Structure 1
Amino acid sequence: MPNQPPPGGPVIELSGATKRFRSARGAVHTAVRDLDLTVAAGEFVAVVGPTGCGKSTTLSLVSGLEPPSRGRVLVHGEPVAGIPGGVGYMFQHDAVLPWRTVLDNVATGPRYRGASKREARERARDWVARVGLDGFEGYYPHQLSGGMRKRVALAQTLVNEPTVLLMDEPFSALDVQTRGLMQDELLRLWSGSGAAVVFVTHDLEEAVVLADRVVVMTAGPATIKGSFPVPLDRPRDAEEVRLTAGFLDIYREVWDSLREEVQITRQRGAGRGA
């Protein structure tokens, strides 16, 4: 059925959020400025923007890894101070521990949160099967392909049943075919979970394939330029949806907004290199 706006208030809310960093020489760099963004429960929001504009900094504000220099960041209606409960974070480079098996890697989160070894392993075994790695529980990371390692990382994140899922270009290092498989896998596992997702990507196709809404950020210091609903039915097949007229229409609309910001960033880079 067509996407419907998720009910209830926002799970994530940024209001006038600004982040500044001070360099070793004392200069101040503004990474993002005056961000206004809300994400509801069960909503999948993809964030795109030119290189270096502050997309990852936005995730750091939501996760509590960085405090805002100004403005407000709320998760579940509470100001973010430290890492909020219920937040899962999947990075570009996976956090798979090389000395642990697949099963023990996935069990690490539940153990850290107080589950017994038996309970943690039972939950891990279930999620290893869910991500398609049944039979690989005893393998070590060096024995896995890149796509299989990403499946482990996805299981590591989802085993804790997050209500907020932050993803920072998690599939960017994969080949095109494996990336498509992982996109389908993510949509399947997320569907029905009720988790609010913020997915940062440089790949506009990926953003449109996955999201209920695509947010475009300006050239740095970034703010929100536009927000574009993706009126494509769910469930989606990552490869088939790319061939539809609806996909091409929303892709063109978002690219028209994003292209100007990419050009600004390129011109700045050319100017510095001159």
Structure 2
Amino acid sequence: MIELRNVTKRFPSGSGGVHTALRDLTMAVGRGEFVAVVGPTGCGKSTALSLVSGLEPPSMGTVSIGGEPVTGIPDGIGYMFQSDAVMPWRSVVDNVAAGPRYRGATRSAARAEAREWVQRVGLGGFEGYYPHQLSGGMRKRVALAQTLVNAPSILLMDEPFSALDVQTRGLMQDELLRLWSGTEAAVIFVTHDLEEAIALADRVVVMTTGPATVKASFEVALERPRDVEEVRMTPEFLAIYREIWQSLKEEVEKTRGRGVGRVA
């Protein structure tokens, strides 16, 4: 479904030179597969999402979706950012209806579809509210509905829940798994939280310190459906965590040696 082959991405640096964010990165994601990507801060994980989405072209190598090279923003892409993309001047239902309207649906059809998704993300009764009237977790639910109402075949998520408190984050993780299940959407989920990566994903990809490439890929052999809070307490989860952390820890320590101290 998604393939990055021998991809390198360079950007102009502030000093007039060139910064290499990714180098010779190869990664594939199958239809219906949920892949979480972890790695040190600044290693280029978000850049990889930009390449898949078509927002940035690779400097070298190829990015393809369904066997076709990505030359612009492909159809069927859903993208959730760390910051909310809700429009403050629109109500909840009109925020969610924006995607169907853009695709050509009539106003009444778009709002009917949006109301259904507002219900599905647990915001029934808040259709007429505006973003400033909602909590952070509720705005994330709106953003999730905005994304999924378009029935994306590929879902790109860039630390979408990182700003939430622990309890709300757990609820949103469960909500995401419930709504994604059975859609056959391929997911790339970037996170700085290894526990979150394991609880959600079928596979966890560890990236090296920048310029990044794939260091290792780990299958997450935990049964679905999952309750993300309960699965964290199982011996199987802890065993997978220890295995992946051994690989990730080396890259984190390299980054700390450069003066950066957070996993991302």
| TM-score, scaled to structure 1 | 0.94
Instruction: Spell out, residue by residue over 1:64-87, the C-alpha distance to the aligned partner (whole angstroms, 9 max, x if none).
Output: 010000000001111001100000
Check if 1:129 corresponds to 2:119: yes
Q: Which residue of 2 aligns with 1:93?
A: 83
Amino acid at match of 1:184: D
1:185 maps to which of 151, 175, 180 = 175
SS in structure 2 at match of 1:17? strand
Q: How do 1:233-244 and structure 2 match up within 5 A?
A: 233-244=223-234
SS in structure 2 at match of 1:155? helix
What CA distance in whole angstroms lies between the structure 1 residues aligned with 2:109 and 2:21? Answer: 42
Q: Percent identity at matched positions?
A: 76
Q: Which residue of 1 aligns with 2:188?
A: 198
2:109 maps to which of 116, 119, 123 = 119
Q: Which residue of 1 aligns with 2:216?
A: 226
Amino acid at match of 1:51: T
SS in structure 2 at match of 1:220? coil
1:26 Cα deviation (Å)? 2.4
Instruction: Spell out, residue by residue over 1:68-116, the C-alpha distance to the aligned partner (whole angstroms, 9 max, x if none).
Output: 0000000111100110000000000010011100000000111111111
Q: Which residue of 2 aligns with 1:248?
A: 238
What CA distance in whole angstroms lies between the structure 2 residues aligned with 1:220 and 1:101? Answer: 41
What CA distance in whole angstroms lies between the structure 2 residues aligned with 1:24 and 1:260? Answer: 29
Amino acid at match of 1:116: T
Amino acid at match of 1:247: F
Amino acid at match of 2:237: F
Q: How do 1:31-70 and structure 2 match up within 5 A?
A: 31-70=21-60
Amino acid at match of 1:263: E
Q: How do 1:135-174 and structure 2 match up within 5 A?
A: 135-174=125-164
Amino acid at match of 2:71: A
What CA distance in whole angstroms lies between the structure 1 residues aligned with 2:69 and 2:15? Answer: 31
SS in structure 2 at match of 1:227? strand
Q: Which residue of 2 aligns with 1:4?
A: none
Instruction: Spell out, residue by residue over 1:180-204, the C-alpha distance to the aligned partner (whole angstroms, 9 max, x if none).
Output: 0000000000000000000000000
Instruction: Spell out, residue by residue over 1:158-182, the C-alpha distance to the aligned partner (whole angstroms, 9 max, x if none).
Output: 0000000000000000000000000
SS in structure 1 at match of 2:258? helix
Q: Which residue of 2 aligns with 1:104?
A: 94
Amino acid at match of 1:20: R
SS in structure 2 at match of 1:243? coil
What CA distance in whole angstroms lies between the structure 2 residues aligned with 1:52 and 1:18? Answer: 15
What CA distance in whole angstroms lies between the structure 2 residues aligned with 1:25 and 1:107? Answer: 44
1:24 Cα deviation (Å)? 4.5
Aligned length: 260
Structure 2: any 5+ residue segments left out of the alignment? none
TM superposition outliers: structure 1 runs of 4+ over 2 Å: 23-26
